[in-house]
Amino acid sequence: METLTALKVAHIVATALLLFGAAGLAVWVWRARRRGDATAHTRTLQRPRVFVWLLMGLALLSMPFTGWWMVHLVGWPLGQTWLLASSVLYTVAALAGFWLLVRLNKLRTLPAAGSGRFTLALALFGFVCLIAITGLMGAKPV
């Protein structure tokens, strides 16, 4: 397989794993909360869901490297607006994701430590940022 094709596949798989993992965890918590389990969000970091978190973390860390390598191989200048915008959005989404992980860990250890609304807002913000990045990458207004 050609290097560029392999990088595209790796980048798309990492994006899909990240988005579907986040959506899966969100659906799991939502369904548990609908059944009346008020502490479902406190268990999102426990096994076996820790595997999903690790997989999402690896995907989150691999995407800048595969993305930069693809841009380098294609020869696009890094100063293009869509690349800069997606890089800024990615950085903000990654920081929101790490902040979300810290908040969920705090909620796991001290269930009365904070508001669930801010945690949900943080998760939705990161998810919307990743959807916007996916749109920018798909449109590629070169």
For residue range 107-130, what is the model confidence (pLDDT) as tens digits?
Answer: 777 766 667 788 888 888 988 998
What is the model's pLDDT at position 89? 94
pLDDT recorded at residue 9:
93
Closest CA to 116 of 4, 11, 37, 3: 37
Q: How high is the pLDDT of residue 118? A: 86
Q: Which residues are within 8 A (CB) of 101 and not within 5 positions of it... i.e. 6 or more apart?
A: 45, 53
Is this model's pTM higher than 0.75 or not? Answer: yes
Going from the C-alpha of 2 to that of each of 5, 7, 70, 73, the distances in angstroms are 5, 9, 12, 11
pLDDT of residue 125: 94
pLDDT at 88: 94
Quote the pLDDT of residue 24.
84
Ranges of residues in the chain with a pLDDT under 50 are: none
